[in-house]
Amino acid sequence: MTSILARYRQQLRNTLGDWFPRTTLFLKGEPPIKGETKPRSRKKAEPAPSLKPKTASKGPEREQSTVQPSAATPSPTALYGPAFTVKRSQEQRMKMRVEQAVAQGIIQPPSPEQWKMILARAPATRIFAGAGSGKTTTLVLRVVFMLCHLEIPREQLTVISFTKASCEELRAQLKRVLAFWEAPLNDEAARELVRTFHSALAQLARTELRATQWFEQLSTQSKGEDEPDNGMLAGATLNEGQRQLLIQAYENCYREDAGFRRRVHLLLELAAPNEEEPPGAPPLQPFVLNGERQPQPLPDLFYGQASFAETLGLRIGSIKSSQLECSTRDLIFLEAMQQFWRHFGRLLKEQRLITFNTAFAVLTDRLEKKPSRTLIACLQPFTHLLIDEFQDISPQIALWLQQVQRRLAEEKVAPSLMAIGDDWQSIYGWRGSSPELFIHFDRWFPGQTPSQTLMLGTNYRSSPDIVADGERILTQVRHKQPKKTQAFRMADDQGHGVKVVPQFDIARQLTSLLGEIEAQRSYAAEREQPERCAVMVMSRLNAPLKAINEQLGRQPGVRTCTIHRAKGLQAEVAIVLDDGQPQQPHPLRNALYAASGHFQQSYDAAMADEALRLSYVAVTRGVSRVLWYTRQPRGAAAILAG
């Protein structure tokens, strides 16, 4: 009897939740909808993170095995208001068209949880979608529903995806599906609708900032007109044009600033500069910064660390070195970096160049203070935002987004935000992004009511063994959103979960690896429904991939790429080459993390989690088999081998 009642109550709750999400949320004492945040008391509300850098937290690090829901309390500075008004007839028409599209083989039938995402009504929605759960596929149908049935003008909607390549893929899918809905999308409209963060920023910067070229796109081939890719993807090595500018700024700083000269000599353990004579050429020998794997010349290191700090939302000139907890050597480095950064900024200005970070910061400031009517008018496409791979967002971009949608809310245009991602796949922390922003979504993007959280729990890509092994790796990630995934595919005799191959040394065993790749390619070719990519060989570093490519050449169906580039892709067989390098503590980055005031974790703890998440991303690319080569099982490999 009790269970019948409980089931009836649950059903009623679900139905109410679907049809009256706001009202349901406010029903006192009502348990949250599955995966949804329960409002806490008003007193405990945490303010949205401030733009201004905070001082270092001196308290002990707060670690926890799983993450508590964010403080999702009605906020006086709410960005999001009432739910979308959705008529029953609009939903019914969408369902009918989807049925027809399925019948014609245009799309796969959405699952009930995918339907919740397609028809979501809350203005701020967070979708936790595990690897291969169909988030990109469902995102397309959500856009169709918004454009074709809710009749939201296309000019008010932007879809953000992580890379230029994933944007291209989304555009192609949208064009195909919208054509079926008789709402054709031409190339230009598709380019405007789907963008990377950096291309969206570039669109605003074009009208608002006078800079003509991006420093990040400075190269001999590009004239800076290409659609900007995500800045996080930029390689670790700078090109010649960029290095020349950095060295020029370094020379200017060394020539003009005695304090800088002194610090550089201290860092490089050189005799104090002779101030009786005019300064000569600045020393460029490599410097070892604690936590960095490679010694590098100072200008390169200054650029790397300053860019990282800016991505955390810090302003380099405002960092108070006296409040950072790190060694004297690191503090001297930081102060020299601050001096260098001023000269670098000046040089960029003279050359009418700008970095993406500066553009984000300047536009955030203008939006926060008193933006011109022209700038406000340019915000229209960001009224309704759908952001894929949200787990890799940085504080700096989140602060910019906050201001964009805050302005729109003040203009009474009722903005909306759908954040789609998988915190388990967040792998750009080393560049300044963090899954904490996705996990504590409501602190960053507060609404009058808590955001709606939806889970997609079915993995359509991988075998049950692979899904289970992926989750095993995740058990040791300290900061994460708990979720459970079920494999859609059946177990099959020929496949297997992760097979760890220990004591592997690529220098000595390259030939046997090439033989294995060939054997796996034959296996994939014989599958009933062969995958477009038969074998994907992944590594954290480029060097082993280069060695393989030199021997293997181009082989149809075989792809070699870094794990970061493999995101969103899949192959019948995934082969992972694990370098097994232990992580090093990075005291300067720990101090910058604390100074930003945005994170519960230290940088080192975040990187330990990230190493496991990177392994999870690699493993979950495999459809039916995963092979893991390692010299010595460490981290994820040790978990899997154990």
Ligand X SMILES: Nc1ncnc2c1ncn2[C@@H]1O[C@H](COP(=O)(O)OP(=O)(O)OP(=O)(O)O)[C@@H](O)[C@H]1O
Nearer to ligand X, 163 or 357 (CB): 163
Structure tokens at 204: 């605003």
Binds 460: which of Mg ion, ligand X, none (CB < 5-8 Å by kind): ligand X
138 binds Mg ion (CB under 5 A): no
Binds 453: which of Mg ion, ligand X, none (CB < 5-8 Å by kind): none
Stretch of 133-141, 186-194, 312-320, 470-478 contacting Mg ion, by CB under 5 A: 133-141
Residue with tokens 């995958």: 531
CB of 160 to Mg ion, least distance (A): 13
Nearer to ligand X, 432 or 568 (CB): 568
Q: Which of residues 142-181 bind Mg ion (CB under 5 A)?
A: none
Binds 114: which of ligand X, Mg ion, none (CB < 5-8 Å by kind): ligand X
Confirm if 426 and 392 have CB atoms less than 8 A apart: yes
The DSSP bridge partners found for residue 454 are 127
| CA-to-CA separations, 141 to 89, 181, 331, 459, in angstroms, rounded | 17, 11, 51, 18
Binds 461: which of ligand X, Mg ion, none (CB < 5-8 Å by kind): ligand X
CB of 159 to Mg ion, least distance (A): 12
CB of 458 to ligand X, least distance (A): 8
Q: How far apart are CA 593 and CA 588, in angstroms?
A: 9
Binds 476: which of ligand X, Mg ion, none (CB < 5-8 Å by kind): none
Give kind and range of the element (H or E) at residue 89: helix 88-103
| CA-to-CA separations, 154 to 90, 143, 190, in angstroms, rounded | 18, 10, 10
CB of 173 to ligand X, least distance (A): 9
Q: Which residues of 370-392 are buried (b: 16+ CB within 10 A; e: fewer)?
A: ebeeebeebbebbbbbbbbbbbb
Binding site for ligand X (CB under 6 A): 108-111, 114, 129, 131-137, 422, 460-461, 568
Nearer to Mg ion, 159 or 253 (CB): 159
Nearer to Mg ion, 391 or 463 (CB): 391
Q: Which of residues 567-586 bind Mg ion (CB under 5 A)?
A: 568
Stretch of 95-103, 130-138, 149-157, 423-431 contacting Mg ion, by CB under 5 A: 130-138
21 binds Mg ion (CB under 5 A): no
Stretch of 95-103, 128-136, 293-301, 338-346 contacting Mg ion, by CB under 5 A: 128-136
Please report the DSSP string for 484-551 in residue order: --EESSPP-TT--SEEEE-S--HHHHHHHHHHHHHHHHHHHHTSSS--S-SEEEEESSSHHHHHHHHH
CB of 568 to Mg ion, least distance (A): 4
Binds 125: which of ligand X, Mg ion, none (CB < 5-8 Å by kind): none
Stretch of 2-10, 135-143, 342-350, 557-565 contacting Mg ion, by CB under 5 A: 135-143
CB of 63 to Mg ion, least distance (A): 30
Structure tokens at 293: 């794997």
Binds 108: which of ligand X, Mg ion, none (CB < 5-8 Å by kind): ligand X
Binds 564: which of Mg ion, ligand X, none (CB < 5-8 Å by kind): none
Nearer to ligand X, 205 or 533 (CB): 533
The number of residues in the chain equals 642
For residue 47, with 0-12 CB atoms within 10 Å meaning exposed, 13-18 middle and 19 or more buried, which class applies? exposed
3-state secondary structure of 278: coil
CB of 419 to Mg ion, least distance (A): 14
> Which residue lies nearest ligand X, judged by its C-beta?
134
CB of 178 to ligand X, least distance (A): 17
Q: How far apart are CA 477 and CA 556, in angstroms?
A: 36
Q: How far apart are CA 435 and CA 390, in angstroms?
A: 8
If binding means CB under 5 A, how many residues of this protein chain bind Mg ion? Answer: 2
Residue type, 626: V
Nearer to Mg ion, 568 or 635 (CB): 568
403 binds Mg ion (CB under 5 A): no
Give kind and range of the element (H or E) at residue 571: strand 571-578
CB of 570 to ligand X, least distance (A): 7
Nearer to Mg ion, 136 or 311 (CB): 136
- In 3-state terms, the chain is what percent helix, strand and coil (to 5)? 50, 10, 40
CB of 160 to ligand X, least distance (A): 14
132 binds Mg ion (CB under 5 A): no
CB of 471 to ligand X, least distance (A): 14
Q: How far apart are CA 34 and CA 11, in angstroms?
A: 12
Q: What are phi and psi of 412, to 5 degrees?
A: 60, 40
For residue 323, with 0-12 CB atoms within 10 Å meaning exposed, 13-18 middle and 19 or more buried, which class applies? middle
Nearer to ligand X, 218 or 619 (CB): 619
First-to-last C-alpha distance (Å) of the chain = 45
The DSSP bridge partners found for residue 452 are 125
391 binds Mg ion (CB under 5 A): no
136 binds Mg ion (CB under 5 A): yes
| CA-to-CA separations, 369 to 173, 297, 319, 372, in angstroms, rounded | 39, 38, 21, 10
Nearer to Mg ion, 357 or 620 (CB): 620
| Residues contributing to the site for Mg ion (CB under 5 A) | 136, 568
